Amino acid sequence: MSSLTGQIAVVTGAGRGIGRAIALKFAAEGADVACVSRTVENSEKVAAEVRALGRRAWALAVDVSDATAVNAAAEKILAEAGKVDLLVNNAGVTRDGLLMRMSEEDWDAVLDTNLKGAFLFTKVFARAFLKQRAGRIINISSIIGLMGNAGQCNYAASKAALFGFTKSVARELGSRGITANAIAPGFIETDMTAALDEKTRAALLEKIPLNALGKAEDIAEAALFLAGPGGRYITGQTLVVDGGMVM
């Protein structure tokens, strides 16, 4: 039997990259998956991939910072799936810029998606988790929340805040058998890193002891561990998956 057989997972930011990898990994391990993305096209595409693995899937286009939209999505998922066992708060955006030039709009956009989105989804499913006295919450943060990065004050603030949010949720819900953990990915192979010139890429690799960028599947494997039997007695923790860049 696969480790997630019979479970229902909700993955935000599932349309591409890390979120897509997690959705497909969970499906491969037996979970049915609600694929949440900002666009119908992306959510439908990943949901089709989940179904191709023989699992049920729901495709939902949701602005994760919109409480009304989040509540409606949760209501639909719970009505059709009957329950939710796993929640992965992965949705995130960047609006990079130096502090002195950063607009209030860019600050709000990043905090609303990266932090408020996790708050809204966790809040809306907490009641169901409490009733069933079980649930796994996984928040996808970043090593930028640990180390900071010039030009990313908004992103770093949002990702650092997720660590404190995760610990507080773990303390609030732990007595009912619910775990809450965070994953802090390092530099992962994406469209953005693929565009780096050789000099920039080489300088980045020098800072990583394993001398390689990570893959989305590396984060998916970490999420699977926290979601599966091995994560039963782990809560309030941050699992750093960065090739040793931050120690």
Q: How is residue 42 written in tokens?
A: 């992306």
With a CB cutoff of 8 Å and minimum separation 6, the contacts of 182 are: 138, 139, 140, 141, 162, 163, 166, 237, 238, 239
d(CA 132, CA 112): 29
Give 188's DSSP letter: B
Pair 150, 97: CB distance under 8 Å: no
Give dist(CA 81, CA 90) in Å, integer. 21
Q: How many CB atoms lie within 10 A of CB 235?
A: 21
> Is 233 noted as a catalytic residue in this protein?
no
The helix-helix angle for 17-28 and 40-52 (nearest 10°) equals 30
Distance CA 89, CA 105 (A): 22
Task: List the catalytic residue out of 155, 163, 165, 187.
Answer: 155
* Catalytically annotated residues: 155
